[in-house]
Amino acid sequence: MISKSIEKKLNEQLAAEAASSQLYLAMASWAEVEGFEGVSGFLYKQSEEERTHMLKLLKFINERGGVAEVPELAKPPVKFENMHQVFSDILEHEQEITNRINELVHITLEEKDYTTHNFLQWYVSEQIEEEALARAVLDKLKLIGDKQGSGLYLFDRDIMNISVTSANDED
C-alpha cells in the first residue's frame, strides 16, 4: 500500500509529465507551422514519450492501492522566438523535472518506501537521457550560430536521426 503523502507527490509528478507532453505538443505544432518538419516530428515523438511517462505513473499509483488523478492542464505557450529558445526551454524544463524526480526519490527513502524508490529509478535514468539530448541539440544549434537558412535546414534534417547514449546504456 502506498502512503497518502507519496500518492500525493506521485500525482503531482503525473501532472508534471502531462504538462510536459502538452508543452512538447505546442512546440511541435509551432515547428510544423514554421516549416521545420524534422523538428516537429522529433517534438511530436517527445510529446508522446512524456504521455507514456504519465501513464506509467498513473498505472503504478493505481496498482499500489492509491488513486491516480488525471490532471487539469494549463495552456502551454504557442509561439516561440526561434529554435534556440525552444531547445533552451526544453533543457530548463527537463532540469525542473529532474529536480522533481530527485525530490520524490528522497521522500521515498525518508518513508522507507523501497518499492516506489525502485520504480522511480527508471525516471532517474530517463532524466539523464532527456537532459543529455537537450544539451546535444543545443550544441548543434550553437554550431549553426546566428546563421539562418541553410544551417537550420540541415539541422532540421539532422534532428530526425538524433539520439544520445547514456552512461547507463554502455556495457
Residue 85 CB neighbour total at 10 angstroms: 13
User: Is 127 annotated as belonging to a binding site?
Assistant: yes
User: Is 50 annotated as belonging to a binding site?
Assistant: yes
Residue 110 CB neighbour total at 10 angstroms: 10
User: Is 46 annotated as belonging to a binding site?
Assistant: no
Q: Where is the binding site for Fe cation, in residues?
A: 17, 50, 53, 94, 127
Q: Where is the binding site, in residues?
A: 17, 50, 53, 94, 127
